[in-house]
Chain A
């Protein structure tokens, strides 16, 4: 929501020069252990409370998801998926288990943020040195391009002010040495927060434990297609992230966004400036095309 002096900015939207980068800060991460989540939604409540947001009362769509989707004032939502999963995804045995998978959805804080790349407004989206991606709402012009850049379909545009909103990973708390509100509130320890290194290490322990308990494909979700994320999941079925309410298996910034923003636009600017310059020099070289008026003008005079 706002820029913080206590956090250094590493990347800034629509900015072509480097950000101040003398100081480096360790990368942080939130690790959400889906296998320890009981779906109590304390994290959603903590998020509302800390960020002082109250969503409209909605309607029940037949699942426990409440609200049904991320909104400008609901930055995290528990996604409940009832799925039948093969007991052993590698074996020929077709026997399945009914599983209730609950994933806390929200911004993944990509190392290579598509929203930031797509944003045309200088400084409306920043990435801090610790990896948190934050929307600086007062610089947001409300174009909605961040929505096209996001591989996880996270930003939501407010109907009230047309500005984009999403989880800030409690950058205001992290900036003063606190953990995000959701991590603080989680009663089972399913949400952990710390340095990315520590979270990967903790995740590795959880994976080892899950593998012992028969989840041979358990894995930490830290997708490299977006350079890794600063919100990671421990998934029992790490080979099938789609089971968890369509978590993409290999998220990437759409080439429609990255190529255009990366290469094509500077070339297009060059082409437009070049066309004007070419016209100027063409005129100077060839000279104007003039018509002979003399005879007819004399006749009429």
Chain B
């Protein structure tokens, strides 16, 4: 995508499309799974053609989500390694919640909060995949009952972790204005970059 002088390229088109495939699959796998999470949410199975269809589709949707996340994971892993600067950011995280951006130490492409979101998503998806296999009995009917009990429990637990993480992720994008265009257009404004990711802004504009 072409960038004007006021814009900085944050994601290429492949990364953006990969992100949105994951997002769609998150909603499909998430809603079909939540249908079985608690009786108050069973009505969600109606979106997928009933309880049995939800049970049939959910593991495939989840597997597809895991695989598409793997694509994004490999693209973004290196930029999400936690380092010493992240510690300083986390110490000031309280100020961030108050909206006091000025108090935050300068960050690169991702701040510590974003990196934690990244790793929580990666970790919970891995646990969801491994535990989901334990009781996907249409394909894997041979696991002992005790393993399935642990599997069901950890699957539900990591699903909650993932849902909460996504809520934080989506909220942050809504809260910090000018963020969503990074995923809808691939570019952000220089002002946004200077304000939210000054080190990355510096890196991108050096020598220009």
Contact = CB atoms under 8 A, between A and B. Distances in A.
Given A153-B145, A157-B137, 15 more contacts: A120-B42, A122-B42, A141-B51, A141-B52, A143-B36, A145-B152, A254-B146, A256-B149, A257-B149, A269-B37, A289-B196, A291-B194, A291-B196, A292-B195, A293-B191
19 contacts: A16-B39, A118-B152, A121-B51, A122-B39, A141-B51, A145-B135, A256-B149, A256-B152, A257-B149, A260-B152, A265-B156, A269-B37, A272-B167, A275-B168, A282-B97, A291-B178, A291-B192, A296-B189, A300-B5
Nearest to A275: B167
Contact of A289 (B50, B148, B163, B175): B175
Contacts of B76: none
If over half of A's interface residues share one DSSP class (helix, strand or loop), that class is named, otherwise mixed; here it is: helix
Contacts of A276: 167
Given A147-B148, A291-B191, A15 B52 contact: no
A295 B138 CA distance: 60
B160 interface: yes
Given A142-B52, A148-B135, A120 B36 contact: yes
How big is the B interface, by class?
35 or more
Interface of B: 4-6, 35-42, 45, 50-52, 54-56, 97-99, 101, 135, 137-138, 141, 145-146, 148-150, 152-153, 156, 160, 163-164, 167-168, 171, 174-178, 189-192, 194-196
A265 B37 contact: yes
Nearest to A269: B38
Contact of A296 (B38, B145, B174, B190): B190
Interface of A: 14-16, 118, 120-122, 139, 141-145, 147-148, 153, 157, 159, 162, 254, 256-257, 260, 265-266, 268-269, 271-272, 275-276, 279, 282-283, 286-297, 299-300
Contact of B4 (A256, A265, A293, A300): A300
B41 A269 contact: yes
B160 A15 contact: no
Nearest to A163: B52
Given A142-B52, A288-B175, A300-B6, A162 B39 contact: no
Contact of A268 (B97, B149, B160, B195): B160
Contacts of B171: 279, 282-283
A272 B38 CA distance: 12
Contacts of B101: 289
B98 A279 contact: no
B196 to A, nearest CB: 7
Contacts of B145: 147-148, 153
A283 B97 CA distance: 10
Nearest to A285: B99
A64 B191 CA distance: 80
A143 B55 CA distance: 6
B153 A260 contact: yes
Contacts of B176: 288-289
Contact of A14 (B39, B54, B55, B160): B39
Contacts of B42: 14, 120-122
A282 B99 CA distance: 10
B199 to A, nearest CB: 15
Given A16-B39, A296-B190, A283 B174 contact: yes
Nearest to A162: B138
Nearest to A17: B39
Contacts of A260: 152-153, 156
A282 to B, nearest CB: 7
Interface core residue of A122, A141, A269 (most chain B CB under 10 Å): A141
Contacts of A147: 145, 148
Contacts of B178: 290-291, 293
A141 B54 CA distance: 8
A142 B52 CA distance: 7
A148 B138 contact: no
